[in-house]
């Protein structure tokens, strides 16, 4: 009799253990793509997002992060998200504006006075409006991530706006940058970012433009040691989820949709902190390597903004109202 009771207890305990083990598996796994490497602020923030979601859904939803363009380029990832092949990712405004033309207003040069100004805008009514407008194409915008400010860096010194005239500058592949270079009297060169270092060394281009961490991470500071910190662009990035993923989340628990949105916003705040730390490290490394930083005077900044007036004059009435609100924020 004792033997039967012992066996019964053993079976009950084994069954409970199996049930506990089974419950530890997620009910849903979401795939999150990023084109940056481990350690980069956006990737680390995505990991933080995954931790928050796992904790707040009690392990029912797991987000797996795939960095280093493992799942494809930004454009490829976006196409896969349209069809539900990838669930989540973080996109630059340059990529998103191909599908959401209304975002071009946020591409305008010298739109913000500084980082704090940009976040006052994006954390408020205007930022929420743009997140809500990015619907209808199979994606849902969740939160803003920081990507810093883009400035010019060159092989020879640039002390003011006039020094940019006649220079050949590698720019992002979009029409806005071509227009900006033309207005500055410089020549826009569109080559792959991976080829910029070689082009600088071979004197094929005079300079390029990007944010400070990317400038140092790629070693461009060795080939173009003059950094003209005009901060012509502040282009935030957006964390997005496909509608197919949203439906899968809804099947697990409809309330988890809002949970993921809240977690994404928290991860955005965390990413900003990481970005500030990365900028600080990049600046220190650039200084150690001998980079010469030039910060435009107020007079130069006013001249730069005035040079860009033709771009602002082309805006429609709605866009002009948004720009006015941004200026007043």
pLDDT digits (tens, 9 = 90+) for 151-205: 999 999 998 888 999 999 999 877 888 899 999 999 999 888 889 999 999 999 9
Residue 288's pLDDT is 97
Residues (pLDDT < 50) of the chain are 1-23
- pLDDT tens for each residue of 234-266: 989 999 999 999 999 999 999 999 999 999 999
User: How many C-beta neighbours within 10 Å does residue 197 have?
Assistant: 16
Residue 219's pLDDT is 94
Bridging pattern class, strands 237-242 and 207-210:
unpaired
Residue 85 in 3-state DSSP? coil
User: Judging by beta carbons within 10 Å of its beta carbon (0-12, 13-18, 19+), is residue 314 exposed, middle or buried?
Assistant: exposed
CATH architecture classification, 149-234+291-328: 3-Layer(aba) Sandwich (3.40)
Q: Are 107 and 233 in contact (CB under 8 A)?
A: yes
Q: Where in the chain is the domain with CATH 3.40.190.170?
A: 26-99+137-148+235-281, 149-234+291-328
Encode 292-312: b = buried (16+ Cβ within 10 Å), e = exposed: eebebeeebbeebeebbeebe
Residue 73's pLDDT is 86
Prediction pTM value: 0.86
Residue 207's beta-bridge partner residues? 154, 169
**What six digits make up the tokens of 215?**
């400038």
CATH code for the structural domain at 26-99+137-148+235-281? 3.40.190.170
Residue 67 in 3-state DSSP? coil
Residue 60's pLDDT is 97
């Amino acid at each position: 009799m004792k033997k039967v009771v012992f066996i019964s207890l053993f079976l009950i305990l084994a069954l409970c253990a199996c049930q506990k083990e089974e419950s530890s598996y997620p009910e849903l796994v979401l795939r999150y793509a990023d084109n940056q490497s481990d350690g980069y602020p956006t990737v680390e923030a995505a990991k933080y997002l995954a931790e928050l979601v796992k904790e707040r859904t009690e392990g029912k939803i797991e987000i797996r992060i795939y960095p280093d363009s493992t799942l494809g380029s930004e454009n490829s990832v976006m196409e896969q998200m349209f069809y539900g092949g990838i669930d989540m990712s973080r996109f630059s405004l340059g990529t998103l504006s191909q599908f959401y033309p209304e975002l071009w207003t946020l591409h305008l040069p010298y739109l913000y006075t500084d980082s704090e100004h940009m976040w006052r805008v994006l954390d408020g009514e205007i930022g929420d409006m743009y997140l809500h407008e990015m619907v209808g194409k199979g994606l849902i915008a969740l939160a803003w991530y920081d990507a810093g400010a883009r400035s010019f860096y060159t092989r020879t010194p640039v002390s003011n706006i006039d020094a940019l005239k006649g220079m050949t500058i590698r720019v992002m592949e979009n029409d806005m940058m071509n227009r900006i270079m033309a207005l500055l009297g410089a020549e826009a060169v569109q080559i792959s970012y991976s080829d910029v270092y070689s082009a600088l060394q071979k004197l094929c281009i005079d300079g390029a433009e990007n944010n400070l961490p990317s400038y140092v991470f790629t070693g461009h500071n060795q080939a173009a040691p003059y950094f003209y910190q005009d901060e012509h662009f502040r282009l935030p990035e957006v964390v997005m989820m496909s509608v197919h993923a949203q439906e899968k989340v809804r099947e697990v628990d409809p309330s988890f949709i809002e949970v993921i949105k809240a977690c994404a916003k928290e991860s955005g705040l965390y990413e900003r902190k990481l970005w500030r730390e990365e900028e600080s490290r990049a600046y220190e490394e650039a200084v150690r390597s001998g980079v010469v930083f030039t910060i435009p005077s107020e007079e130069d900044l006013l001249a730069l903004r005035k040079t860009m007036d033709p771009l602002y004059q082309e805006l429609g009435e709605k866009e002009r109202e948004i720009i006015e609100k941004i200026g007043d924020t």
